[in-house]
Structure 1
Amino acid sequence: MRADDEFLPHDLLWGLTPAQLPKEAPDWVAEALSLGQPVVVRRALTASDQVPVGVRGVLREQRFATLMPRALVERCVRPEALIDIEICAQDWPALQALNYLRPLLKASGLVWGVSGSAGFELASGLPTLHQQSDLDLILRVPQALSRRQANGLLLQLDNPFCRVDLQLQTPLGAVALAEWAGTAQRVLLKQASGVQLVLDPWNALERVA
């Protein structure tokens, strides 16, 4: 990878090893990295030569935030690169939902991708899904999506297999589709600097305290 490559939240990166972990890292973190699994880019402010990442463990509560030297990145897979990968994986509900929704999302003409447990398993081949797993998706929306459009999309994501959690990725951060489709005036926008309540996730001038 080039040192100037831009890495986005939810990208999966390979190359971090136990040797780069801080001393306070739990044992399971080193074990996970020893298997050669990727780490997930997260939102945080860091030095330019570092990438903020998270390590996944076997258990749901096993999540560890750390930093990865940018120079060590060997491979990067983005959520949108995973939309056409097919795996059986015991036909988990999340993958059934993905197959069910794929034609709809492709027809939208928008750039979307698979994140969360489903994305991790599709990219790495490591078993992370289970019967109760949600399907996590991202939608890149550089231009504003109206709340009416958001509500229509939310209704279209309804499926007989599992819950779908879709995050809208705006130029300013990320907001949950379900929240933007709702009736609350202000919504939570996730940014590298933290979470803020905003009136419009696409307009920096309309942020509120």
Structure 2
Amino acid sequence: MRTVSNLNQVLSTVCSNDWILALHQNLLLLLIVGKWLLPLGGGVTRDELSQLLLIFVGTAADILEFTSEMLSDVKEKSPQLVYIVLAVWTWSMLQFPIHVSVVNSKPDNEGEQEAGEVSLLSKYSTDMWSIVEALFIQDGPFLVVRLTVMTYFDVFHQMLVFFAVKNFLVVILNLYRLVVICQDSCSRAGWGSAIPCV
């Protein structure tokens, strides 16, 4: 009985912010380890799974930094923005179960199909999903929230600016990648003369 009371006393000394951060960390770690331990499915090879898990580790670190930094910056200034940060965090967690970042390692069957017969979505499906993920699930929403905090609440510090610039670069590079993919697809289909090169 004394052990239980001592444990309760130790746990009660930990502040609520530390509990929230620990829960976020454990959830992200469980998602990654759980994905690793689950049986392979959906045509995902072990090589693709290993690449996916490496991507998930980086993604989880970015998501964890986003919530811990944003909540500490805005929780006393705007309770409504806290709900927005948590909603964006929840939205960003969708990328873990839907496999949008799977790296496609299957070789192209150039001998079986001509380039003009292959549709843009079928040939670049992995790249397209990666672009959609960056623009609409993670870096795009993160950038909007960070810019809102900097402009509306006048919160500026080194990490906030750094990660806002990082999100902006990821969004711009993914838009550039989308343009490159579209131009490549059009030039293979014989439309290259109608589209100016970047």
- Could you tell me the TM-score, scaled by structure 1's length? 0.22
Relative contact order (alpha carbons < 8 A, sep ≥ 6): 1 or 2 greater?
A: 2
Structure ranking higher in strand proportion: 1
Higher Cα Rg: structure 1 or 2?
2
